[in-house]
C-alpha cells in the first residue's frame, strides 16, 4: 500500500514509517503540516493517508476536509493521543477509516494495516 504520512513529530513519523516498511508498505511522502500534506497528496496519489490530529497551523480535521475536496474517497487513518467521543464521532462522520491512538503497539498497528487491506 502507498502511504502519505502527515505528522509533525519526527520520532512518531520515523516510528510509523519503520512499521510500514516492516509490513511491506511504501511511504511515498511525508508532511509536517497541512499545505505540504495537500501538495504531496495531489502529487503522490497514496492509497491511504496517516493524518495526525494536532498539527501546526491547521487541525487534522481541517486538513482532512482539504484532502476530501481533492478526492472524496480518500482513505484516512487519524493518528492521535486525543481520546474524546465527540471527536471520534466527528471523524467518523467525515469518513475516517480508523483512529490509531498513541501510544500504540506493533500488534495494534499490524491489525490496523490488515483491516485497511480489506475491500
Residue-wise over 2-38: b if at least 16 C-beta within 10 A, else e?
ebbbbbeeeebbebbbebbeeeebebbbbbbebebbb
| Domain segments of the chain as ranges | 2-106
What per-residue confidence (pLDDT) applies to 31?
97
Task: Please tell me the predicted confidence (pLDDT) of residue 13.
Answer: 96
What letter does residue 101 receive in the DSSP assignment?
Answer: E
- Give CATH superfamily name and number for 2-106: Response regulator (3.40.50.2300)
Please name the helix (run of DSSP H) or strand (run of DSSP E) that holds residue 20, with its range, or none: helix 10-22
Query: Which residues, other chains included, contact 81 with Cβ-Cβ below 8 Å and sequence gap of 6+?
Result: 101, 102, 103
What does the pLDDT read at residue 84? 79
Residue spans of the chain under pLDDT 50: none
Amino acid at each position: 500500500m502507498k502511504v502519505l504520512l502527515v505528522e509533525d513529530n519526527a520520532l512518531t513519523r520515523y516510528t510509523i514509517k519503520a512499521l510500514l516498511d516492516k509490513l511491506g508498505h511504501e511511504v511515498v511522502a511525508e508532511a509536517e503540516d497541512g499545505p505540504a500534506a495537500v501538495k504531496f497528496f495531489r502529487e503522490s496519489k497514496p492509497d491511504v493517508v496517516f493524518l495526525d490530529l494536532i498539527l501546526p497551523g491547521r487541525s487534522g480535521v481541517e486538513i482532512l476536509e482539504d484532502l476530501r475536496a481533492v478526492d472524496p474517497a480518500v482513505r484516512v487513518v487519524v493518528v492521535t493521543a486525543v481520546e474524546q467521543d465527540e471527536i471520534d464521532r466527528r471523524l467518523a462522520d467525515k469518513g475516517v477509516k480508523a483512529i490509531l491512538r498513541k501510544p500504540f503497539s506493533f500488534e495494534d498497528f499490524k491489525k490496523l494495516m490488515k483491516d485497511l487491506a480489506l475491500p
